[in-house]
Structure 1
Amino acid sequence: KPVVKAYQGDTFPVKKIQGFETAVNSLFELGREQIDNGLLSKTICMSYAGNPDVIRRMTGYKMLEKHAEKHGVRLMLSVMSTTAGINVGPGAFAFGLMTDKMGKDD
């Protein structure tokens, strides 16, 4: 699956990963790393174009959830909006956090 980054109004592909769960777990790992590096907002937002329970059952999500709780970071997981879902397709996953520790090329 392609991983696309949005940075300062631009979007661009950063890598292509085989398999949905592997791709999503790489984002959960990134989330744990950025929690350790310090977030500008103690919130990570996620949306899924499908049933969010699919995401909640993933081992990587559970690991992120425990790590976030330990560091006082709130996870917000919701169903992706219809408009976004139409644009990116069923089964798409969005992951957002605020940090000043990453730039365009990270």
Structure 2
Amino acid sequence: MAEKDQNSTIAGNLGELTTIRNILMGQQMTEYASRFDEIDQKLKALEAALEQKMEGMRLSLQDQISENLKTLETETTALKDQMATREQHLRSQLGNLLIELGEQMKKG
């Protein structure tokens, strides 16, 4: 029974301490909670803005890469065409030279 009385006395004292703390620190705690909420809201807004900027940059980079790939493909195709034309021209020149060489060998 003494233990129950002691427990209820301790609980009562804790309740009184909590009440005293709330009286002394209540306004400050409310201000801290308000400031933390404000900081949390600002942080969430900054996170959202950062995510939005990152998404915009990702899309922009993706567009640039696609554009660069198209340009590279176009230039590669043009270079292949130039090489094919040059090859055909060189083969024609080689054929003409071989014909000329053959004629000179016949003449002799």
TM-score, normalising length from structure 1?
0.20
Which has the larger share of strand?
Answer: 1
Which has the larger share of helix?
Answer: 2
Greater RCO structure (CA 8 Å; 6+ sep): 1
